[in-house]
Structure 1
Amino acid sequence: MEIKDRILKKAEDLFFVYGIKSVSMDELATSLGISKRTIYENFKDKEDILTSLMIKLRDDRNLAFQEYLSDDYNVVEVFLKVIEIQSQMPECNAKFFQDIYKYYPKVAALIQKNMEENNIFLQEFLQKGINQGYIREDLNIKIAAFLVEESTHTYLRASYIEKPPFSFNELFKTMMINFVRGISTEKGIKIIDAYLEKEKSN
């Protein structure tokens, strides 16, 4: 793994657990076993690391998503695969997003731009689901796409609950399963219920 990739991976690990502001460049260097100078030879500052990390996470997410988009893909099954992958990813401390929106406006703007781009794709994705007969014809796809992308803010609101009785991965999975089931036709609901039944038996 190249040094830049190593730095980004370790930054992801630390930022996700402790937030961004509480992780110093010295701590990042020490955890990698390299000098702080080496970090600055590859990145301008912490914001540059954060920006590069968010771009990498976006590109990795898009690449993983594209793997499921064959010509004959089923929209509901793709939703379920993405939900499954996302719910198994490392937990992200809500402080991570709090720090971005409070201290890093340029990165927050990048996230907003990504959300707007995803919104356009999601509308097309949901329309395909309608055409396939898995998503309800009466669905307002603009509102539905907006709700999916705005779900990030649910993490922020939940972070203010003292000792929440659920993990953030559980929150995401419950929220998204119920959302997809709610917008699905009977044909789509059968696929979701079969998935939930299989989950229960496992």
Structure 2
Amino acid sequence: MRTTNDKTLLRERVIDAGQELFHKNGIRAVTMDDVAHKLHISKRTLYQLFDTKESLLIACQQKAMAEHQQQIRNIMAETDNVIEIILCDLQLNMKEIQKFSKEFLNDIPLYDKLRENIRQHRKENKANALEFIQRGISQGLFRPEINAEMVYEVGVGITDLLVEKGYYNTVSPFEMLSSSTIAYLRGISTEKGIELLNNFVSKYKTTE
């Protein structure tokens, strides 16, 4: 008989296996049989932990979001410079995108629950995002006349458009971000902020 700790550890293993399979093969192509086979466990054991593939998918998403949030907290513990934090976040995003197959990226818009979770996550973190933008203004990195609310909403819109149009599949992560997010940041940044952005682009080009 499994203890609570055993079940927790197995649940984490299932989530890790699910993430790997979803990212590699796409969401639609992966079955619960595939997950059970990968872990050498019975389907009965798997269904005791996750009753549907969607529930496993949501758990995978929640873990990824929690890990990303922790990475951001780690970055913020090292620097309070708003643009440096954003650029570190962009680097994390580019590394993550490179792990995803085209099939996975194509499947994301098909799952309403995934998108709803993202919307809810944004809603919960919007106040922090607006405060973050104001901090960028105070640091002399963002132009003082910008409207933080509009800057936030346009930034979210850019991210959604990239997914909706499938640009993740047609251009490199760096080309995608330099033509969208980084270009947008240049438009709202002061000369001081633009210098940091340009340094990031130059450095990334040499290591790409």
TM-score, scaled to structure 2? 0.82
Q: Does 1:48 align with 2:59?
A: no
- For the residues of structure 2 that align with 1:58 and 1:35, how far apart are their CA atoms? 28
Gaps of 5+ in 2: 1-7
- Aligned pair 1:117/2:128, yes or no? no
Instruction: Give the ranges of 4+ consecutive aligned residues of structure 1 lying more than 4 Å apart after TM superposition.
Output: none
Mark the runs of 5 or more structure 1 residues left unpaired by the alignment.
none
The separation in 1 between residues aligned to 2:65 and 2:84, in whole angstroms, is 21
Residue 110 of structure 1 and its aligned partner are, at CA, apart by 2.0
- Give yes or no for contact 1:123–1:145 (8 Å, CA) kept in 2: yes
Structure 2 distance, partners of 1:19, 1:136, is 41
The verdict on how the C-alpha distance between 1:15 and 1:191 changes in structure 2, with shifts beyond 3 A counting, is same
Contact kept? 2:108, 2:114, Cα under 8 Å: no
Instruction: Report the counterpart of residue 127 of structure 1 in structure 2.
Output: 134
Quote the offset at 1:71 in angstroms. Answer: 8.6
Q: Of 181, 187, 193, which residue of structure 2 is paired with 1:188? A: 193
State whether structure 2 residue 186 is matched by structure 1 residue 178.
Answer: no
Please state which structure has a larger fraction of its residues in helix: 2
Normalised to the residue count of structure 1, the TM-score between the two structures is: 0.85
Equivalent in 139, 158, 162 of residue 154 of structure 1 = 162
Percent identity, aligned pairs only?
Answer: 27
Change (3 A) 1:10 1:172: farther
Equivalent pair of 1:21/1:99 in contact (CA under 8 Å): no
> How far, CA to CA, are the matches of 2:81 and 2:71 in structure 1?
16
CA deviations over 1:161-186 (Å, ceiling 9, x no partner) = 9x73x135642454222222221100
**Alpha-carbon separation, structure 1, partners of 2:11 and 2:105:** 25
Q: Name the CA shift for 1:167/1:201 in 2 (closer, same or farther; >3 Å).
A: closer
State the aligned residue count: 195
Q: Paired residue for 1:27?
A: 34
1:100, 1:108 within 8 Å by CA — same for their partners in 2? yes
Deviations 1:34-76 (A, max 9, x none): 2212211211221211221222122111111111224961001
| Distance of 1:5 and 1:169 partners within structure 2 | 32
